[in-house]
Structure 1
Amino acid sequence: MGNKCCCRGSEPPPLRKPEVDVIIPRPPHVTVTIDNPLHENRQPVIEDRNRSAPKRRIMVAMYNYEARDSQDISFKKGDRMEILDDSDGDWLNAVHLITKERGYIPGNYVAAELSVESEDWFFENISRKEAEKLLMSEENSRGTFLVRPSEHNPTGYSLSVKDWEEYRGFHIKHYKIKPLDNGGYYISTNKTFETLAELVTAYTKNAYGLCHVLAKPCKKPQPTMWDLGSTYRDKWEIPRMEISLIRRLGRGNFGEVHYGKWKDSIEVAVKTLREGTMSTAAFLEEAAIMKKFRHKRLVALFGVCSEEEPIYIVQEYMSKGSLLDFLRNDEGKQLEFEELVYIAFQVGSGMEYLESKQLIHRDLAARNVLIGENNIAKICDFGLARVIEDNEYCPKQGSRFPVKWTAPEAIIYGKFSIKSDVWSYGILLMELFTYGQVPYPGLHGREVIDLIEKGYRMPKPTSHHVPDEIYQTMLSCWDSNPEKRPTFEFLTHYFEGFNVTSEVPYREVPD
């Protein structure tokens, strides 16, 4: 009585035992806890130890891009975007982190934030010869540089730097960037770095024995757009009203080629095929295949207008036209020997890709290679000859059939293969190094067939400089046994390394 506090009232009820009768089904990685058994209305807290917040994918723009239709968004170099969906392949669904716009962006215009691919000096997919070509541009001064994956060491890189010496003029030097066993990179063993970015930063401040301090990154060329816009990412029939034909560029075996524009803004080349040239169904089947093949040395096929005649083939516009016409005009006639070798390399690279995909061109010739700015070469019309239904364009007639470019087994037996394309590449090399001279000058198609069967091969030209080594390569392409002809992989590497010294090791120079 006297010991009880008046404010306590009666004794509190006994503690309730936590509910244990209800079994909550759960996977083994889920833990169920009760926050406080005194609070009987408290809900159980369920924790999934395997589940974590989804990681945001932030991409940074490497180039400016102007939206082409209502489904994609514009951005400037350096802008950041979060990827929402990447299931559409070349086009990523994203939200712009500044404008908050949502739409599609071309995947080859962006790189993962803070990745080595997002660095201005990193060039992901170029060869040594391509690096030299880019760096030797007149806009690049001494010390301009780039870093690229090593072609011989899968975990290493190469540093390419533009240099100048009085006795050599401008030239390119290459240095091996080697990986350390425990992570990190080095050029010289007495200077090691944890990341490529740290290495590059260090050499922008001190040459440490390089030919020159690293001055500025080489400008990256604009990547190829494989579609006219995000609207056409999964289709290739283009409304004819969207295509304007502005001027005729030339006439081919199967129709005309025009310079045009898509929606009055994007430059395109348009092939108009003569009526009856091919079955529309067969062409559409082939076009669907052709559109899937993507390589920087193949002309991009944007789509077709096939619902009425004439069929339009809409493709990437190359400003300098066909290689054949280019070689014969004033600009092409001024090409130095090294430029010709570079074109041979580019065509070989594109054909190496087709070789890897087991796709036969069937009509490889200088007329079917296009030239763009900076003398970039791209192969066009690959696979098109397979669906041509022109009776005059066949071995039996011989009039317009490209006998002088075609392997004997394809002419006589109709056996086309990647090895018959190699034969054609050899003829293209002769066109290239003679600045567009007609093969087998003075001979007609039937005469060529008869002579080839007897073992005749085009002689080394006397009117133009063709090194013995390159002529021997042409002869290897014209071996009567298709299996003895070189592969395009070999030919690409041959012209990439032609007349080029091996990559120099770092030359130690005292500090």
Structure 2
Amino acid sequence: MLSLMDLVSVLQFLEEVLMSPCCLFRGLPVLSQKRGPSQTDRLCFTPTPAHPGGSWAGGSNHLRTWKWDSLQQLFSIWLCTVIPRMGCIKSKDSNTTGKSLGPPESTQTHYVKDPTSTVTMTKPERSSKHPREEGQEEVVLLALYDYDGVHPGDLTFRKGDHLLLKKESGEWWEACLISTGEEGFVPSNYVAYFNSLESEEWYFKGMSRKEAERQLLSPVNKSGAFMIRDSETMKGCFSLSVRDSGDTVKHYKIRTLDDGGFFISTRIPFPSLPELVRHYQGKVDGLCQCLTIPCQTVRPEKPWEKDAWEIPRESLSLQKKLGAGQFGDVWLAMYNGHTKVAVKTMKPGSMSPGAFLEEANLMKSLQHDRLVRLHAVVTQGEPIYIITEYMQKGSLLDFLKSQEGSDQPLIQLIDFSAQIAEGMWFIEQRNYIHRDLRAANCLVSETLLCKIADFGLARVIEDSEYTAREGTKFPIKWTSLEAANYGSFTIKSDVWSFGVLLTEIITYGRTPYPGMSNSEVITALERGYRMPCPSTCPKELYSIMLQCWQQDPEQRPTFEYLQSILEDFFTATETQYQAQP
């Protein structure tokens, strides 16, 4: 087997060969090493004026800091990059037919571009100039999951494949598969920069402490499952979250050294996070558990098809009726035969297409993990279709009333509440209003993630039975006094509704103000009446409800506060992070 120095010598020799004027591969860029924003190495092809063929950034001394496995990957990538380029799509004869990146020439459907998109998605342009001549970098990506292309221009790849990044464009990036030379679009959440921190299975960028606990406590993870995430309190530092025995998760702060190293315990520093992980996978050394495998998660949802906003009605196949609401039915449907979606079919006359489209454009721009994703619309003809992501367990109200829902412990009920507060905080930050927040308008995923749906729809409903206070469809029991009496809807009236939603959750879907009519509720509230504490409700949670029902809207809490207090409902008096081992 080659030694580390032997491999370095081979790489340097290959560079010299490439620099030779008679070299067959003359003009191809050479891999260089760049330090990425995550303080880890990623690979780039970097030509320079002094070395038009490219050079190793940092020189051979810097290269020697690479570990053996990194060098093996580096060498294989170099070889995979040179060979395909001799027959790359870009260098084929102009008469050769390659993979089409645009839609089929004869299409029976018409797609209207997403008006909220700030990115122009087009067929990837094949530059007549080589990136080396333009002084550009070509960055190597690592595939994190398998992906089978389903849209025109998609690139199919497998986990572990290497790709050259051509262009970052929102949710869909243009890339070239190194092993075949094929070019196309790839979902950006399915790839990461090669050899970056994001490419490590145990690194979860941007994940909060509470979300880490949700993920690690899912049934697929066992004791010793772990993740490393960014610290929420110390910029530039990290946290190690480990599932302990039982339903507990322990958190450890990973601090940085001045020279770039990392440590949990000051007595055991490490030059890199991968070495820290390898150490604690081999021994407990003060942690609650020996690290086993990275946290197992559900494969992320693929981004919605590029530019598909107002889509043809015939592209949807309604398969199963999921429920019936006041203004239409909800169906499970297949989009173009390959993507499961939920379709809300609005009753004819329930809203103006023009007013709905205006509101939908704003709704589409609100994208958050706790909001049901609005994918597309059908407004040509009636009924109007609203196409959203599909949530397997349906509405929170129906779930709570089901056998599975009624078996959920208090800790899960509080977690539902915290997740909804998180989504409403995002809406609050965007100066938006929901207007109809209740359990029926929240949906539950297969992994018990809760998302808010139908935000904004209440504003464009034209049904008098819904818009009038006396109407039978008006959700008066969830509506604040100022909104019911004067039509004054604000984020603070949403806070009132959230307090009522908490009673639905804690009583497993009981209708608020049981035994009282809408008019009786309004009269009682105006006299200062408030719903009594449900028998199964902790007094601390009831205290939060009463804060939400303050007569003065300005005295009601913010959703930021509600999220914080609900996330820490059981841990407010506990130490969140473990002492150094």
TM-score over 0.5 (shorter chain): yes
- What does 1:297-376 correspond to in 2, within 5 Å? 297-376=370-449
Structure 1 ranges of 4+ moved more than 6 A: none
* 1:427 counterpart = 2:508: no
Deviation, 1:263, is 1.6
- Residue 224 of structure 1, CA deviation: 3.3
The alignment status of 1:80 with 2:151, answered yes or no, reads: no
CA shift, 1:139, in A, is: 2.6
- In structure 1, give the amino acid aligned to 2:481: P
- 1:11-52 deviation per Cα after TM superposition (whole angstroms, max 9, x unaligned): xxxxxxxxxxxxxxxxxxx99xxxxxxxxxxxxxxxxxxx98
- Corresponding letter in the other structure for 2:277: V
* Alignment deviations for residues 310-368 of structure 1 (CA, whole Å, 9 cap, x no partner): 01111111111100001001110000111111111111111111111111111110000
Alignment correspondent of 1:177: 254
Counterparts of 1:154 and 1:382, CA distance in 2: 33
CA drift at 1:153: 1.4
- Counterpart for residue 279 of structure 1: 352
Q: Unaligned 5+ residue runs, structure 2?
A: 1-48, 51-132
Change beyond 3 A, Cα 1:226–1:409: farther
In structure 1, give the amino acid aligned to 2:197: V
Residue 214 of structure 1: aligned partner:
291
User: Residue 145 in 1 paired to residue 238 in 2?
Assistant: no
Greater radius of gyration (CA): 1
Larger CA deviation: 100-109 vs 470-479: 100-109
1:198 maps to which residue?
Answer: 275
**8 Å CA contact 1:149, 1:158 repeated in 2:** yes
Aligned AA for 2:262? Answer: Y
1:92 aligned to 2:173?
yes
Instruction: Give the aligned partner of residue 474 of structure 1.
Output: 545
Opposite residue 390 of structure 1, the aligned amino acid is D
SS in 1 for 2:249: strand
| Equivalent residue letter for 1:399 | T
In the alignment, structure 1 residue 57 sits paired with structure 2 residue 130: no
1:213-234 CA distances to partner (integer Å, 9 max, x unpaired)?
A: 211101133223341x2xxx23
What is the rounded CA distance, in whole Å, between the counterparts of 2:160 and 2:549 in structure 1? Answer: 50
Corresponding position of 1:265: 338
**More helix as a share of residues:** 2
Q: Normalised by the size of structure 1, how large is the TM-score?
A: 0.85
Q: What SS does structure 1 have at the residue aligned with 2:186?
A: strand
Give 1:44's aligned residue.
none
Equivalent residue for 1:112?
A: 193
Deviation at 1:507, TM superposition (A): 4.1
Aligned twin of 1:441: 514
Conserved? CA contact 1:391–1:397, under 8 Å: no
Contact 1:224 1:296 survives alignment (8 Å): no
Alignment match, 1:134: 215
Aligned partners of 2:465, 2:575: CA distance in 1, in Å?
49
CA distance in 2, matches of 1:265, 1:113: 30
Aligned match of 2:310 in 237, 240, 244?
237
Given residue 245 of structure 1, which amino acid in structure 2 is its aligned partner?
L
Contact 1:174-1:504 within 8 A present in 2 as well: yes
Deviation, 1:265, is 2.1
Q: Whole-Å Cα distance in 1 between the matches of residues 350 and 185 of structure 2?
A: 37
Q: Distance in 2 between matches of 1:188 and 1:55?
A: 39
**Match of 1:198, as an amino acid?**
E
**What is the percent sequence identity of the aligned residues?**
46
Contact 1:129/1:342 (<8 A) preserved? no
Q: Which amino acid aligns with 1:121?
A: W
Instruction: Provide the rounded CA distance (Å) in 1 between the counterparts of 2:170 and 2:273.
Output: 28
Q: Tell whether the 8 Å contact from 2:461 to 2:467 is kept in structure 1 after alignment.
A: no
CA contact (8 A) 2:231 2:239 kept: yes
Q: Which runs of 5+ in 1 are unaligned?
A: 1-29, 32-50
Name which of structure 1's ranges 305-314 and 170-179 shifts more when overlaid on structure 2: 170-179
Amino acid paired to 2:235 = P
Give the conservation status (yes or no) of the 8 Å contact 2:344–2:387.
yes
How has the CA–CA distance of structure 1 residues 477 and 224 changed in structure 2, closer, same or farther, with 3 Å as cutoff? Answer: farther
After TM superposition, the structure 1 = structure 2 runs for residues 286-301 of structure 1, keeping only pairs within 5 Å, are 286-301=359-374
Matched residue SS, 2:522: helix
Q: CA offset at residue 429 of structure 1?
A: 0.7
Q: Which moved more, 1:130-139 or 1:108-117?
A: 130-139
Cα distance in 1 between the residues matched to 2:237 and 2:468:
50
Task: Kindly provide the amino acid, as one letter, of the partner of residue 556 in structure 2.
Answer: R
For these two proteins, the number of residue pairs brought into alignment is 449
Q: Specify the alignment match of 1:40 in structure 2.
A: none
Q: Is the 8 A contact 2:229 2:238 kept in 1?
A: yes
**C-alpha displacement of 1:253:** 1.2
- Encode CA deviations 1:428-453: one digit per residue, 9 max, x unaligned: 11100100000011111111111111
RMSD of equivalent CA atoms: 1.7
Alignment of 1:376-395 (within 5 A): 376-395=449-468
Q: TM-score, normalised by structure 2?
A: 0.75
Q: 1:225 to 1:445 in 2, by over 3 A?
A: farther
Looking at structure 1, the residues matched to 219 and 461 of structure 2 have their Cα atoms a distance apart, in angstroms, of 44
The one of 123, 138, 144 equivalent to 2:204 is: 123
Secondary structure (helix, strand or coil) at the match of 1:202 reads: helix
SS of the residue 2:545 aligns to? helix
Amino acid at match of 1:314: I
Secondary structure of 1:82's match? Answer: strand
The answer to whether the Cα contact below 8 Å between 2:210 and 2:567 also exists between their aligned partners in 1 is yes
Q: Deviations over 1:104-131 (max 9, x none)?
A: 1111221111111111001113222221
> What is the match of residue 489 of structure 2?
416
CA-CA distance at 1:298 after TM superposition: 0.9
1:458 and 1:278 map into 2 onto residues whose CA distance is: 34
1:242 alignment partner AA: S
Question: Per the alignment, in what secondary structure is the counterpart of residue 133 of structure 1?
Answer: helix
CA distance in 1 between counterparts of 2:235 and 2:163 reads 30
3-state secondary structure, aligned to 2:244: strand
Q: Residues 185, 85 of structure 1: CA spacing in aligned structure 2 closer, same or farther, 3 A cutoff? A: same
Return the alpha-carbon distance in structure 2 between the equivalents of residues 404 and 337 of structure 1.
Answer: 24
In structure 1, what is the Cα distance between the partners aligned to 2:237 and 2:382? 53
2:187·2:303 contact (CA, 8 Å) conserved in 1?
no
| Greater Cα shift, 144-153 or 327-336 | 144-153
**Residue in structure 2 matched with residue 3 of structure 1 by the alignment:** none
| CA displacement at 1:170 relative to structure 2 | 4.2
State the secondary structure of the residue aligned to 1:448: helix
Opposite residue 79 of structure 1, the aligned amino acid is: D
